[in-house]
Structure 1
């Protein structure tokens, strides 16, 4: 009887070992699945937060109707910084040059505009950003006691590397500099003979009348959309368009705040989605009717 008992005992040990291994394997699978789900959830959240680079056209599936909402806080004023300010000649049709704003008065900016140095321009992304500027540390030329000047960045102050940065090359990198529209320079300085004045400045929320404006130009094979009068952060980092037959399509920044796509949009009601530099977005649903024409401007919901 001894042999059968030994065999039985060995069989029981084998069964126990198998059950132990099964429990370990089951736990490992459960851990792996949990980890994979967490990873997948992270990827989904990451994709919802991903802002498509404006220079890479991308067409989304028509099933993606709206990005996840994150209840981001409203854009708040930034820290005060030091810079200098000059002025430049021009008119309503020229003060919006490098940003694509054909007429700053018609676009809602008035003459409270400024060109910014290359270090601030950020390849056109800064177009539309708003600043509070005040003259400081120069009683001879500053308008002491005057309220701050609030301006929108609508142009580029190009560098001049033939001149030193502290003597004529005011907009050379890495200097942060404001070249104000001439009509508003004397809000800060006593008169134009001041030439250049030291200033303090900070980013502030843009407060615009009306909604975000979309001016459509181009032709049936090339759509160029100027996005203007943007409130909140003011800076636009991504624009998407959707038609009745065309799914969400990410437009590319052409220059300034002009955005392009070769999607066939003629004859369709158009919806635009604008994402600002603070991560917030606004969607202008069916802002352009199916019979829209090139050269027309449409106004959608603005950032609050």
Structure 2
């Protein structure tokens, strides 16, 4: 018989969840009580409120981060009271976070610490973590699963770079939440495939200054959307452009 996880609410109602739907991991927190120090990070989102993600965020261990391919993905996390450390769980609670940063291995500690190779670990913003764990614990056992992201508004494109190097941070994806492939098109060009530079920054080595810009994105869920005429020809580096389209998966 398959094992199951039982989640009990404060009203003593219990929800039995098939264990096959969940993976085991651990969670710590960082960023202070207001989560302000979680802004920025290895996905390149800078201000997480402006990028559409807010305070319910986490830095993922290298195993989960996948060199930035997981940036923007959403995870449902529950403290696992059945494992050692579970006495620090806030039972009957759960939190959905967005992956916005990398928790690097610390090789001053055995096996690289909690974020070392092979360890699924979430270093969550303190406000998000305290939804499910007691502050004094510092670390708790969890179960987690990737879930669909829900976002307000459309996908956003933040432009940096210079001359023949265009660096675009793609933000606020719903659905799978993360970018699988991206293209850019100027008024005077065809579609140019972009490459992941770091995090969710994608670059094109093309002279597109002075041209209006369109984008095309395939999510990691496999959905392809063209975002046409998003950026006017008078755009400047350092600006962010919103759209009215977003992903379902």
Which bracket does the TM-score occupy, shorter chain normalised? Answer: 0.7 to 0.9
Task: Decide whether the 8 Å contact of 2:186 with 2:211 is kept in 1.
Answer: yes
Q: Is the 8 A contact 1:89 1:182 kept in 2?
A: yes
Between the aligned partners of 1:93 and 1:169, the Cα distance in structure 2 is 21
Separation (CA, whole Å) in 1 of partners of 2:99 and 2:137:
22
Q: Which has the higher helix share?
A: 1
In structure 2, what is the Cα distance between the partners aligned to 1:215 and 1:95? 16
Alpha-carbon deviation of 1:183? 2.0
Between the aligned partners of 1:93 and 1:284, the Cα distance in structure 2 is: 32
Aligned residues of 1:268 and 1:290 also touching (Cα < 8 A): yes
Tell me if the contact between 2:77 and 2:96 (Cα under 8 Å) persists in the aligned partners: yes
CA shift in 2, pair 1:283/1:92, >3 Å: farther
Relative to 1, partners in 2 of residues 1:245 and 1:93: Cα closer, same or farther, differing over 3 Å?
Answer: farther
Contact 2:30 2:38 in 1 (8 A): no
Partner Cα separation in structure 1 for residue 181 and residue 86 of structure 2: 43
1:131 equivalent in structure 2: 75
Aligned to 2:131: 187
Q: Given the two structures, how large is their TM-score scaled by the length of structure 1? A: 0.70
Match of 1:97 in 2: 41
* 8 Å CA contact retained: 1:246, 1:263: no
2:79 touches 2:86 (CA, 8 Å); kept in 1?
Answer: no
Greater radius of gyration (CA): 1
Q: Normalised by the size of structure 2, how large is the TM-score?
A: 0.85
Give 1:96 shift: 3.4
Deviation at 1:220, TM superposition (A): 2.2
In structure 2, C-alpha distance between the alignment counterparts of 1:245 and 1:285, rounded to whole Å:
14
Task: Please report how far the alpha carbon of residue 283 of structure 1 lies from its aligned counterpart in structure 2 after TM superposition.
Answer: 1.3
Which among 216, 232, 238 is matched to residue 295 of structure 1?
238
Cα RMSD between the aligned structures?
1.6
- Cα distance in 1 for residues equivalent to 2:24 and 2:64: 13
Checking the alignment, whether the CA contact within 8 Å between 2:58 and 2:124 is kept in structure 1 is yes
Structure 2 unaligned blocks of 5 or more: 1-19
After TM superposition, give the deviation of residue 295 of structure 1 in Å: 1.5
The reply on whether 1:172 has 2:119 as its aligned counterpart is no
- Contact kept in structure 2, 1:240 and 1:251, CA below 8 Å: yes
Which residue in 1 is equivalent to 2:88?
141
Partners of 2:115 and 2:53 lie apart in 1 by 23
Q: 4, 11, 27: which is aligned to 1:85?
A: 27
Secondary structure of 1:208 counterpart: coil
Stretches of structure 1 that go unaligned for 5 or more consecutive residues are 1-77
The answer for the alignment partner of 1:217 in structure 2 is 160
What SS does the aligned partner of 2:66 have? helix
3-state SS of 1:183 partner? helix
Q: Hey, which of these two has a bigger chunk of strand by percent?
A: 2
Q: CA deviation at 1:302?
A: 0.7
Q: Distance in 1 between matches of 2:121 and 2:39?
A: 16
- Equivalent position SS for 1:121: helix
